[in-house]
Amino acid sequence: MAVMALLAEADLALNAVKLLLALSLLLQCMEDRKIINSLGVLPFGSWALLGHDLKAGWPQCFKALAWLFEARRLSYLVAARAFVALFMLLSAALAIYVRHQSNSDEIALLTSSPWAIVLSSATLISAGIVVLWMSQVFWMIRWRGTLNGGSDAMSLSLLNALMLGEICRFGLPLADIKLQNIAAQLSLWFIVIQSLSSYVVSGAIKLRDPNWRNGLALTHFLDASVHGPLKSTSLFRTKGIARLASWGFTLWECAMPLLLLHPYLAVMACLAAFGFHSMVLWYFGLNRFLWAWSSCFPALIYAAFALKSMS
């Protein structure tokens, strides 16, 4: 818990979010290169087809995007995105290490090195966030939405939060407003609202669906696992167990906002969420979901500490 207590600091918690998000984006870039070379070359995946409405209404916009979305250029965009994500990962890791390091001489030696100066540059960090946000938007335009479902939407939400923080960081001084850590706090609370809303909405949808309440939907989904249908002897074939597991997932998702009551609850809830997303990865191969939502955990733990300090 002592390590988790470090997340009570807004700047450190935000750097933890950046580190995990950068790792998530790096993994996504590896998959995106394969998507370009597979789905992108198929007729139904071409920009000419997916962007036909833009061609009719905004031909110049369609033409400009067609130039950008040419397979080779799109691959360059993904490569640039990966490079910037790596930069954000290293800069966040450096910031966390320096904050956690107690030896002042070692900190001075480390931060004076040329590479540390580059990684600590506020201008480069802000520019990197802008590049990552724009590349995410262009990627979603290319496929006309969230090609990879909720993980793409959550990645964009996280980048929206970082963009909001950067706008606040540069905008408030221009308005002669000086509030300590307000930019980091704004980003973190934006992430908290987005992530908790995603869990509650998912739980509420399950709660309204009779097939989720009786467990049939859970069994149906598990039958579509990457490992093949459930065995006839699987516990999830038992109606009572399937119903119990289904209700467990549903109530847990609906109750996620309760983690804000105490940091211990936040840590336990994040561990449970990591376990849940790990099971989704195991059964359905959705690794993007695991890393996209895990990137939110430092913000959730920070929020619990922040509310506790106010009580």
Using one digit for the tens of pLDDT, what is the confidence trace for 140-175?
999 988 878 789 999 999 999 999 999 998 887 766
Task: For residues 100 and 98, give the distance between their C-alpha atoms in angstroms, rounded to a whole number.
Answer: 5
Average of pLDDT values for 265-277?
96
Residue 181 has pLDDT above 90, yes or no: no
The tens digit of pLDDT for each residue in 1-30 reads 556 778 999 999 999 999 999 999 999 999
Amino acid found at 104:
S
Residues 126, 87 contacting (CB under 8 angstroms): no
- Contacts with 150 (C-beta within 8 Å, 6 or more apart), sequence order: 198, 289, 292
Residue 4, pLDDT score: 72
Query: What's the pLDDT at 177?
Result: 64
Burial of 7 (0-12, 13-18, 19+ CB in 10 A): buried
Task: Assign residue 262 a region (left: φ > 0; alpha: ψ between -120 and 50; beta: otherwise).
Answer: beta
DSSP H helices, 8-145, are 10-38, 47-50, 52-57, 59-68, 71-100, 104-111, 114-119, 122-142
Report the pLDDT value the prediction gives residue 106, as an integer from 0 to 100. 66
Residue 263, pLDDT score: 95
Helix, strand, coil tally for the chain in percent (to 5): 85, 0, 15
Is the distance from CB of 236 to CB of 230 less than 8 angstroms? yes
Domain ranges of the chain: 2-310
CA 289 – CA 278 distance, rounded (Å)? 9
Helix (H/G/I), strand (E/B), else coil: 233: coil
**194-230 pLDDT per residue, tens:** 999 999 999 999 999 999 999 999 999 999 888 888 8
How confident is the model over 113-117, as a mean pLDDT? 85
- pLDDT at residue number 148: 80
Q: For position 105, what pLDDT does the model report?
A: 63
Residue that wins the pLDDT comparison between 71 and 311? 71
Q: What is the DSSP letter of 214?
A: S
* CA–CA separation, 94 and 111 (whole Å): 9
- Residue 188 near residue 302 (C-beta atoms within 8 A): yes
pLDDT band at 234 (very low <50, low <70, confident <90, very high): confident
The mean pLDDT of the chain is 90
Residue 180, classed as helix, strand or coil, is coil
Q: Mind listing the pLDDT tens digit for each residue in 23-58?
A: 999 999 999 999 998 888 788 888 989 988 888 889
Coil, strand or helix at 20: helix
Q: Which long-range contacts (CB under 8 A, 24 or more apart) does 59-67 make?
A: 65/141, 65/142
